[in-house]
Amino acid sequence: MHVIYSPKGRAGEYGELACTIYLRCTNKCLYCYCPTILHITSEEFHQQPEERANFLTYLEEDAKKLSKDEDLR
């Protein structure tokens, strides 16, 4: 599972790379598309956030791969 990724579309304006630490969100933005992408209800998605399982392990793996590939973003 990759946690570091290149944001697409408008999100790319803010940075060349991004990572998603948490699952779920409490902001409840009306335009939020995440529940649809994750195939869960809006109510389920907008509960207490939780950290992704093994996040630090995946982050370290992704960072090592970027370094090995000489990706200097």
pLDDT for position 16: 94
pLDDT for position 65: 95
Low-confidence stretches of the chain (pLDDT < 70) are none
pTM of the full structure: 0.70
**C-alpha–C-alpha distance, residues 58 and 73, integer Å:** 18
Task: Output the CA torsion sign for 14, 19, 20, 26.
Answer: negative
Q: For residues 26 and 48, is the Cβ–Cβ distance under 8 A?
A: yes
Q: Could you tell me the residue ranges of all domains in the chain?
A: 4-68
SS3 string of 2-66? CCEECCCHHHHHCCCCEECCEECCCCCCCCCCHHHHHCCCHHHHCCCCEECCCHHHHHHHHHHHH
